[in-house]
Structure 1
Amino acid sequence: MTLRLPLADGRSRTYVPRADPLRLTPRARPALSRTFFAAAHVVADRFAAAVPGAPAAVDWDATLAFRRHLWSRGLGVAEAMDTAQRGAGLDWASARELIRRSAAEARAAGGAIVCGAGTDQLAGGTDRLGAGTDRLGAGAGLDGVRRAYEEQLAVVEEAGARPVLLASRALAAAARSPEDYLDVYGGLLRQSSRPAVLHWLGPAFDPALDGYWGSADPDLAAGTLLDLVAAHPGKVDGVKISLLDPGREIALRRRLPPGVRCYTGDDFHYPELIAGDEQGFSHALLGILDPLAPLAAEAAHALDTGGPGAFRALLDPTVALARHLFEPPTGCYKTGVVLLAWLAGHQPHFTMVGGLQSARSLPHLARAYELADGLGLFPDPEAAESRMRALLAVYGIDG
């Protein structure tokens, strides 16, 4: 059997799907040499209104089943992060319920979990793709930003999870100096009962976060972040860096105090950053680990037993898929992630909160299928082919 996959220039090409999946034995035990958290997507309720601005409707059974899939592979779950459509359709009420349910599932499964705490309730439900960016901070002010963070931090702590202090669009709009960031984050770290993960999300993922930490100069911004970590010893578990700039990530991780981890959020350069060098390495908190879970878990254990060479032999071939999914506009990567979850049989439909399944073109989705199939990521290649053929038919293409 073959598929006729569309190209961006209007032509098409014939693709022969892979016959056999990559057969990997699930490893429930986490790897030892690195910590891996997969930022997990949510499964939308396919019967609910999926339009921008509508209240988020989540298929809780399928969403939690996917988290159990990640834990069964020995990966941790990073909950209520960007991959779960925070700020892009998933409102705070749904995110709060997601945190509570996933933390309870983590306890039952014995799985690791961290959960995002941010300020997106200040957005009034505005999608990341929608309007309203400039008014968030101006309307809330620093006190409002602080209270919003505190509300979400309390939910994460009550759920028994470690917090990830998400980069805040409202804080970026309200802050006038690096000192404002130090003040807001310092108060949160003092309140947190568990060491928190700080999150630096670059403008490639969200242009509204340009100039975060009080400067458009990344070196000055990194200095402010390091000052914050140094001022609160024992209160920072790690720093998640999502700048898509491996040189800056390496420079920052070499300056972190002992015991403070660097979690890479770089979905373009993750194999080399996790493998590390003679002066250190990054742990992982990544959206790309959602579709790569079985292969990433195998690579993590290969790093334990065979070293960086064995690790990169498994993970380097996945970079082409990651770069495709995260191509500009990078914030739309979630569409490809959900497509692959549907094709892999983790959910019964290709529908997203807020209708975001329409955020990528058909040629983009077709290429994502081709790359993932080539890696053997679909447990049932024939079923994946059938679903891809059905999607092509919806667009009027006889595959």
Structure 2
Amino acid sequence: MIPNKILRKDIKRVKDMVKRRGLNVDFGTYEEMEEERRSHQVATEAAQMESNTLSKEVAVLKRSGQDASPILEQLAVISKDKKAREQSLKILLDSMRDFELSLPNLLDERVPEGKTEADNQEISKHGDIPNFDFEVKSHTDLAGDALDFSRAAKMSGSRFVVMKGRMAKLHRALAQWMLDTQVERGYEEVNPPVLVEHHALVGTGQLPKFADDQFFTEGQHALIPTAEVSVTNLHREEILPLGALPIAYSALTLCFRKEAGAYGKDTHGLIRLHQFEKVELVKFVSEATAQSEFEALITDAEYILQQLQLPYRKVLLCAGDTSASAKITYDLEVWLPGENQYREISSCSYFGDYQARRMQARYRDEDGNVQPLHTINGSGLAVGRALVAVIENYQLASGKIAVPDVLKPYLGMVDEI
């Protein structure tokens, strides 16, 4: 969340940021609440000063044997008024916090202007787009009944799939290889819960703004939309020593999303399912090392695409397309021959201290002062989309799929499936 000192002293900066993101936020009520808070603070401080003064007078009167009851009555009235004001202030601060939690993060100065993905900036391209001497097919055509959407729909509805045979094996191989690779690159493997309580989603910024995208149980839990939620909450309400940083975690989990804002979009194939697997990368860092660690995480995500020899590009998201919690985001987009276009396969984001403030995740700096951690995450990668990319880019005229070299040890050293 945005620090109170910025909201109180430089709210214009926050308003300008919200405008850059293309959002409509009513600050009027919040500014009225802030005026009321200041009034409460002034009145409380004045009451405390008066109480201190009267208490000293009571002490003097008692030492001299005089009657202090009139002043004690005044103190009782002040105390009662103070308690009532404190209760009102608590209610007010809760309302202000609800508003503060709904605000998006401050944008990094590098984020370009723009409203939609059409305004995102291409930073670089890698690899050559393949040229096929036969008719290119989509991943669903190539997989056939090994990707069974109709049977999945019988039990779960639309946007689910049953993977069978060669597709299930290739999917498993990709997931395992990607996780193994990130562990080799220095990430600690974690296997976190996929059910979390609501406060965990508040901590990473999915709530309250994106409640419609979450799957909730009848109780206090929700299914995670990404391992970012559970892994980033590992250090909530903790104070870490500076020497423990940076901390880097990688997790392979199921993820669940309603995709409420994507109705009618990407309904065909594996691109946008309600349930999918993803290898997530999460870092906890100090402010001083945040930028270099962010660049390193992006490199780690790119490494997967490079090892798979998949053509991709890196894109800097514009203000209107940057997620609410992120300060800055780079997307990696892989080339899909079946669609003849690049599609997102990883989003790598730097959050500053936005998430840490919501979770009270902190560290002690070199001077012994407690500071909020800075958080970074990215997909390394989305397994289903990686499967699509491999199927389509490695398709053969026979209808089979050539196996990327790095996956052969996970598939019995076969050359094609």
Give the structure with higher Rg (CA): 2
Q: What is the TM-score of this pair, normalised by structure 1? A: 0.23
TM-score of the aligned structures, taking structure 2 as reference length: 0.22
Which structure features the higher share of strand residues? Answer: 2
